[in-house]
Structure 1
Amino acid sequence: MSSARTVHHVPGADFPAWYPSSSVVTAGPFAFSASMSAVDFERGGVVPEAKPLPGLPYSSGHPVKLQVRETYRRLEAALTQAGSSLEGGVSINQWQPSYHGEVERHEPLRDAYDLFWEDWRRVAHAYIQSRDEFLLADRPASCLMPIDRLVSPEQHIEVQLVSLLDDSGITKRAYAHDVHSPLGGYSVGVEAGPWVFSAGFIATDFESGLHPNARVPQHIWYGNQVAQETEETLRQVRVTMEAAGAHWSDVVKVVLYLTPEGIRNMPAVEEVWAAQWPENPPARAVVPCSGIGGVKHGNVEIYVIVARSSEGGERDVVHTDRALAPLGHSVQAMRSGPLLFLSTQLGRDENGLSAQAVALRDGLPQARRHIHDQVRRIHEDVAAICEAAGTSIDQTVKVDAFLSDFVDLSTFFEAWADPFTDGLPASGFFEVPPRSHEIPACDISVDLVVAVPEGR
């Protein structure tokens, strides 16, 4: 099993020079795909074969399914060249936009469900039907998240996959559990050697909406729904992971998706978090999202990666005083074998958005220099954490970047690629609700996975 980081550029599934992503990056036993779509990077929009004919919009193909098929064609091409496959998928993320070019973006206090729930349902249902043409059995653990925008206003979906390499020597096992019985046909967990990847769990019983454990009285001042959703979701994840032979203390990385309402209740979430992991918490990425697509009026979705100690999995906390302390009850990073999982990275200082970035935003708003300042600070912290873990920032394999306004996307692209001298990571770029990062004043948050060279 090779653990060396390798960057792959795949014709037909690659990106132009201005778009800072590789098609797929391999490290350890895994291939990490970029966030793939049907975007036409030469002419704009999506490629002609991924959309109905303009004159026959209702009789020349389903607009969502056409995009899904082109997206999976690119995913399959990228993974095959990297020595992997769709069948080897262990974890899949799918991103669904709320806003398209003709729709005005609203402030985060607006109820996104009232505006977009039926559109989310329409797209998600068609996506799942078409996904099942490609992922036939033992489907990967899955998250399907609404966000504000994708890079093209014509997009309906974007997909990224973590898949086992064909020569990894590891056999995956997908499984189900009656504590969480999703209607979408995905696996609630996938075992791959010592690692277990959970699906994105939500606090639902898949029958009546929010699970009874996650509901609070609607007509009296009692209870915090976001906190109860978090607690119920973590309960379901824990039961499922322990059924796979994992211990709660084996969790190396958690991704916590929160709506704007969830972000506003972050102090209550932190109390639940500290009770779940009183000591040695995992690395944690907090990802803002427009909504929770699996349950109406939900605010929380969570997935975890576990390294089972009983199967030889490693879980080593990484800390350095040269980088900022993590936000909340978390750690800077967690190393597990050939991979380093970082907590949320923001362009901040110890007191929030840096004074320099604030001054640049106020004094030179059109120059977007505050974006450069935030990117530089993210680079500096990531580089310090990587060095403490025995690796370097240019060994990054996967990046998800979340911007609060896509007006900053081109500026971000200009600044982001600088430290990746050994090839760009596989990446995805997403617009999230305004002022919905862990630090509301920040414009960018980033989630990263980094390869650790063998012998380090």
Structure 2
Amino acid sequence: MSSRKVFSVPGADFPEWYPSSPVATAGPFAFTASMSAVDWRTGGLAEAARPRPGLPLSTGHPVKLQVREAYRRLDLALQAAGSSLDRGVSINQWQPTYHGLQEREPAGRDPYALYWEDWRRVAHAYIQGRNEFLLSDRPASCLMPVDRLVGADADIEIQLVSLLAGSGITKSTYAHDIHSPLGGYSIGVEAGPWLFSAGFIATDFTTGLHPNARVPEHIWYGNQVAQETEETLRQIRVAMEAAGGRWENVVKVVLYLTPEGIRNLPAIDEVWAKQWPVDPPARAIVPVSGIGGVKHGNVEIYVIVTRPEHGGDREVIHAPNALDALGHSVQAVRSGPLLFLSTQLGRTAEGLSPEAAAARRGMPHTRRHIVDQVRRIHDDVAAICEAAGTSIENTVKVDAFLTDMSDLPTFLDAWKEPFTDGYPASGFFEVPPRSHEIPDCDVTVDLVVAMP
């Protein structure tokens, strides 16, 4: 098993100001950055990803052109790291709700009524384009709409976790009729000591929301978000246990929530505590604009499970010098060569720091509130890493979710400070306002760190 390495990859590199490596490796895995078809010199799309201006309807599907360029870069990055597209075990795909300078709709508007057909247009074309590159045994998949991507003209970003060729681990996909997705992806992948699930949603893929996730409309009874969560976890558990995993061995959960889902976090936490009464997994709560797989859904979940019978292990990390995890969660869980952290927010024990709140109110144009939050995240992550026996510099994967892309330049400048030996593979996204686990915070970060 190798230690953390980052790679510079001609043809898939990022500019100096963008703190991400194209690919980073740790243990048996290669983690790619979130790749798009952006031309980083001009800010527009790469020439290969654009229809010809005079023949916009006759020179290729605009989304598929971008998909092909993004996969070309992913392939370059993985090959440089000693992996490949066909070794992928987990894939995330992100699509924007707003393009260019388009203004966001006011809070409270129904995004499904406004953007469902556009989300469908991009997702359908993306899936067809993906199938040109991932031919069989496709990785476990999540496809999520956010508000914006870094590239204003980009329709899709893609990130992969793939096995290294020399890892000694092979992958196999598994299926179960409790969850039969229409998108052609695998619901789960076995990879040596781990199982990776796809993003599950509370649907039967026929009628919309699964009957177990619906609440009666004519009485004041039931919480749809809680029932979506319960049904989604039920389906994951059945499929995962059929593949040989055990619920108590879940090491990481990513919980994608719409703004309505975020507002119902207390109800979700009650479900969580019943599922994992003690030693719950690390949990990253990721705000999204919608749930792409089911109209009017609010919850999507994927899990990573360790398998002791295949050499996997699970250690809950407690760092006394870091803030306690929010909700029914833990600060981090180590499994083999990887450390999975829970949601990271730039906060105090009581919420957004008074200093950040004052700076945002009194000096909003300086963006000092962003710097304060980033440095608090750094401090907490560093303390958790130290308690686990590693370092923040060993971070291999980062996803950062900002509620305002105008904060991105300040965030990027502050974010790169700890990484003196190459950047993690990263993605940076805009999500709905006040949609973080602490609504007053401006950024959520999800990280995976390599153990030395």
TM-score relative to the length of structure 2 = 0.99
Cα distance in 2, alignment partners of residues 57 and 338 from structure 1: 48
SS across alignment from 1:93: strand
Aligned partner of 1:213 in structure 2 is 212
Specify the alignment match of 2:10 in structure 1: 11
Amino acid at match of 1:319: H
Deviation at 1:229, TM superposition (A): 0.2
| Distance in 2 separating the partners of 1:18 and 1:312 | 40
- Residue equivalent to 1:314: 313
Q: Secondary structure at the match of 2:410?
A: helix
Shift of 1:422: 1.6
**Which residue number in structure 1 is paired with residue 251 of structure 2?**
252
Query: Structure 1, residues 208-230: CA drift from partner, whole Å, max 9, x if none?
Result: 00000000011221100000000
Residue type at the aligned position of 1:201: F
Q: Secondary structure of the residue that 1:92 maps to in structure 2?
A: strand
Task: Write the letter of the residue equivalent to 1:349.
Answer: T
CA-to-aligned-CA distance 1:148-199 (integer Å, 9 cap, x gap):
0001111100000000000000010012110000000000000000100000
Look up the match of 2:352. Answer: 353
**Residue 54 (structure 1) aligned with residue 53 (structure 2):** yes
| 2:410 counterpart of 1:411 | yes
CA contact 1:246–1:309 (8 Å) conserved in 2: no
1:74 alignment partner AA: R
Q: Secondary structure at the match of 2:239?
A: helix
Distance 2:80 2:338 in 1: 22
In the other structure, the counterpart of 2:182 is 183
Give the share of equivalent positions with the same residue, in percent.
75
Q: Output aligned runs, 1:30-429, within 5 Å.
A: 30-429=29-428
> In 2, distance between residues paired with 1:244 and 1:156?
34
CA distance in 2, matches of 1:424, 1:237: 33
Which whole-Å deviations, capped at 9, do the CAs of 1:390-426 have from their partners, x for residues lacking one?
A: 0000000000000000000000011000101121000
The one-letter code matched in structure 2 to 1:108 is A
- Write the letter of the residue equivalent to 2:433: P
Q: CA deviation at 1:107?
A: 3.0
Secondary structure of the 1:268 match is: helix
Return the letter of the residue paired with 1:232.
E
Deviation (angstroms), 1:103: 2.6
AA paired with 2:177? D
Using the TM superposition, name which of 345-354 and 308-317 deviates more. Answer: 308-317
Q: Which whole-Å deviations, capped at 9, do the CAs of 1:41-73 have from their partners, x for residues lacking one?
A: 101111121011122111111010000000000
- Partner SS state of residue 141, structure 2: strand
SS of aligned partner of 1:4: strand
Counterpart-to-counterpart distance in 1, 2:47 and 2:451: 41
**Secondary structure of the residue that 1:5 maps to in structure 2?**
strand
Q: Matched residues in 1 for 2:362 and 2:434: separation? A: 20
Matched residues in 2 for 1:193 and 1:277: separation?
24
Shift of 1:379: 0.2
Letter in 2 for 1:307: T
**What code does the residue aligned with 1:263 have?**
I
Alpha-carbon shift at residue 34 of structure 1 (Å)? 0.3
Q: Distance in 1 between matches of 2:94 and 2:402?
A: 14
CA distance in 1 between partners of 2:362 and 2:126 (Å): 45
Contact 1:320 1:385 in 2 (8 A): yes
- Measured after TM superposition, the shift of residue 311 of structure 1 is 1.8
* Contact kept in structure 2, 1:35 and 1:426, CA below 8 Å: yes
Q: Distance in 2 between matches of 1:192 and 1:225?
A: 34
Taking the aligned partners of 1:329 and 1:442, their CA distance within structure 2 comes to 19
Letter in 1 for 2:54: G
The letter for the 2-side match of 1:193 is G
Structure 1 residue ranges (4+ consecutive) displaced by more than 6 angstroms after TM superposition: none
* Separation in structure 1 between the aligned mates of residue 432 and residue 85 of structure 2, nearest angstrom: 31
Q: Secondary structure, in 3 states, of the residue corresponding to 2:2?
A: coil
Distance 1:421 1:314 in 2: 30
In the TM superposition, residue 314 of structure 1 has moved relative to its aligned partner by 0.7
- Residue by residue over 1:92-133, the C-alpha shift from the partner in whole angstroms, topping out at 9 and shown as x without a partner, is 000010001253202331111011000011110000001000
Measure the CA separation in 2 of the matches of 1:23 and 1:102.
27
The letter for the 2-side match of 1:75 is L
Letter in 2 for 1:8: F
Name the CA shift for 1:108/1:237 in 2 (closer, same or farther; >3 Å).
farther
CA distance in 1, matches of 2:163, 2:371: 36
Letter in 1 for 2:119: W
| Secondary structure in structure 1 of the residue aligned to 2:85 | coil
In structure 2, distance between residues paired with 1:394 and 1:404: 26
Residue of structure 2 in register with 1:452 after alignment: 451
By how many angstroms is 1:143 displaced? 0.1
Q: Out of 107-116 and 69-78, give the one that drifted further.
A: 107-116
Give the Cα separation in 2 of the matches to 1:53 and 1:218: 50
Equivalents in 2 of 1:383, 1:31: separation in Å? 23
Q: Which amino acid aligns with 1:320?
A: A
The residue identity in structure 1 corresponding to 2:100 is G
- The size of the alignment, in residue pairs, is 452
SS of equivalent residue, structure 1 residue 31: strand
C-alpha separation between the residues in 2 aligned to 1:149 and 1:409? Answer: 12
CA distance in 1, matches of 2:21, 2:120: 31
Give the unaligned 5+ runs of structure 1. Answer: none
**What is the rounded CA distance, in whole Å, between the counterparts of 1:169 and 1:23 in structure 2?**
24
Give the secondary-structure state (helix, strand or coil) at the position aligned to 2:236.
helix
